[in-house]
Amino acid sequence: MSADPQTPLRADARRNRDQIIAAARVIFAEHGPEVPMEEIARSAGVGVGTLYRRFPDRDALVRAVAVDNFARVLEDARAAAEAEPTAWAALVRLLYGSMDLQLSIQLAMVSMKAYEILREDPVISDLRQSLLIEVESLVRAAQEDGHLRKDVGAGDVAMLFAVLLRRLPPRNPEIAEISTARCVAIMIDGLRAQPGTPLPGRPLGRDDIH
C-alpha cells in the first residue's frame, strides 16, 4: 500500500515555515521587522517564492513571528515560576535569560511598524495579556516575599525593558551583548527592595501599557 503522496509535501511545508520563522526571529531581533523579505528567505535557506507561499506579505510574517515569540516567552515565564525557589528568582531569570522576551518587547512596544501590524490582532492580544498576568503574578509574589520594591508594578517592568531596548545598538556585537547584560543588571538592582529614591506617581499596572 503506497503512502499518502501529500504527506512529504505537508512535512516540507511545515519545515519551511519553521525555518522562515526561526530566521525572521533572529533578524527581527537584530535589525527590526523592516528587513527585506529576500534577506529573510536567504537566511532561512528557502526561495523567495517559498517564503511568499507561506507568508503572503510582511504583515503575515510579523504576526507569525510575534505569536511564536509570545508563546515562547509565556512558556519561559511559567517554567521559571515553577522551577525557581522564589518569585524574585523567577523574575530575574526571565529578565536575564529570555532573548525571546527582548524580541517580544521590541515587536509589541518598540517597533512602530510591528505595533501597527499587531495592535488589534486578537491572538497577540490574548498572548500579551497572558504574559503580563504571569509577570504581574511574579511581581506581586516577589513584593510579598520582600525581594521586590513595593512601588512598582508589572507595567513598570515592561516599560523598563522597552526603554532598555530603545538604546542605539553598538557596532560591535560583543559590546552590544555586554551592554545589554549590564543594563539589565542595573535595572534589576533598581527593582530590589532596598532604600532608594522614591518613585514619582503610582505603580504602573498591566492595563496602563496598552
Which DSSP state fits 192?
A: B
pLDDT band at 182; cut points 50, 70, 90: confident
Question: Cα(176)–Cα(172) distance, rounded to whole angstroms?
Answer: 6
For the chain, give the percent of residues with pLDDT over 70.
89
- Judge whether 59 and 117 are in contact, CB under 8 Å: yes
CA dist., res. 134 & res. 76, Å (int): 10
Please write the tens of the pLDDT for every residue from 17-69. Answer: 999 999 999 888 878 888 999 999 999 999 999 999 999 999 999 999 999 98
Would you state the pLDDT for residue 4?
44
3-state secondary structure labels for all residues of 65-120: HHHHHHHHHHHHHHHHHHHCCCHHHHHHHHHHHCHHHHHHHHHHHHCHHHHHHHCC
For the chain, domain boundaries: 1-56, 58-209
Contact between 152 and 95 under an 8 Å Cβ cutoff? The reply is no
pLDDT digits (tens, 9 = 90+) for 97-123: 766 777 777 777 667 888 888 888 999
- The superfamily CATH assigns to domain 58-209 is Tetracycline Repressor, domain 2 (1.10.357.10)
- Greatest pairwise CA separation for the chain in angstroms: 75
Give 18-55 as a DSSP string: HHHHHHHHHHHHHH-TTS-HHHHHHHHTS-HHHHHHH-
- Whole-structure pTM over 0.85, yes or no? no
Q: Are 47 and 25 in contact (CB under 8 A)?
A: no
**DSSP secondary structure letters along 146-171:** TSB-TT--HHHHHHHHHHHHTSPPPS
> What phi and psi values does residue 79 have, to the nearest 5 degrees?
-65, -40
Tell whether the torsion through CA atoms of 163, 209, 67 and 119 is positive or negative: negative
Q: For the domain 1-56, what is the CATH superfamily, name and number? A: Homeodomain-like (1.10.10.60)
Phi, psi of 119 (to 5 degrees): -60, -30
Cα angle value 97/166/164 (rounded, 5°) = 40
CA pair distance 181, 95, nearest whole angstrom? 10
